[in-house]
Amino acid sequence: MNHLIKNFSLMALLFCMFMQVLPSAMAASFFVDKGHTDVVEGISFEIVPPHLFIKKAFKLRGENLTPAQLLLIREAMPSIANMTHKVLMRPINKSFPFAENTGETLEKNLQEALEGAPLPRSIYQLQHIESPTQLFIQTLKNWQVTESSIQFSSDYFYRSDRSSAIYFRDTYLFTKTNGSWRFLQHPNSMPEGVLQCAQSALGWKRCDGGVQQ
């Protein structure tokens, strides 16, 4: 009888432990990152969808930006994130290299092309990145901000054929026209290109130099 009671107590203990762990496991499996608010020099940035992970890549600290400049970046953030998203998408064809696989975006890109709106360079085409290799954003940084223009560099990376990651940098210039921010042009005729990266003493990967491709 004592043996039966001991077994029952052990089973009850294990059941209680299982019930405590189960909600945490279920919560982790259904966790959705809805973003957060980041405050830089007193300026609040809503790091939320759409393009959440692109917005997370904005490097705003350590860039010698004034609160007024940060306000302008915050205003332009949705447009910059949207353009970056197009750069990351695999081209459908050479005529419209940044069309996403949706009718709405394809129609918008077609309209922009017909209107002569400038489009950023295709890194997939420049680097001859073949499917299924995917391009990712690492950091948007090196901000130069005036009341009517924002210039910045974007560091991308991709991994081809199980090799080490390849890092690539290009620079963009946005301008404010009719109250909205839009991509204007690349400040340089060629991208900075493939970067030479090294591991820092703290374990961070630093990519400070580029080789034009």
Cβ contacts of 74 within 8 Å, gap of 6 or more = 43, 44, 45
49 cis-preceded (ω within 30 degrees of 0)? no
Residues in the chain with pLDDT values less than 50? 4-8, 13, 15, 17-19, 21-22, 24-28, 94-104, 212-213
Q: What angle do CA 168, 126, 140 make, to 5 degrees?
A: 30
Q: What angle do CA 210, 84, 58 make, to 5 degrees?
A: 75
Tell me which long-range contacts 54-57 makes (C-beta under 8 A, separation of at least 24). 54/81, 54/84, 54/85, 54/88, 54/137, 54/140, 55/81, 57/137, 57/138, 57/139, 57/140
Pairing of strands 180-185, 193-199: unpaired
Q: Are 198 and 131 in contact (CB under 8 A)?
A: no
pLDDT of residue 209: 61
pLDDT of residue 115: 61
Cβ contacts of 188 within 8 Å, gap of 6 or more = 171
pLDDT of residue 186: 98
Q: Take residue 140 and report the two structure tokens written for it.
A: 């948007």
With b meaning 16 or more CB within 10 Å and e meaning fewer, what string describes 70-85? bebbbebbebbbebbb
pLDDT of residue 38: 97
Helix (H, G, I), strand (E, B) or coil at 181: strand
Q: Token pair 């017909």 is at which residue?
A: 114
pLDDT of residue 18: 45
For 154-164, write each residue's pLDDT tens digit.
Answer: 999 999 877 78
User: What gap in Å lies between CA 183 and CA 116, rounded to an integer?
Assistant: 12
Q: Take residue 122 and report the two structure tokens written for it.
A: 């295709």
Map out the domains of the chain as residue ranges.
1-30, 32-211
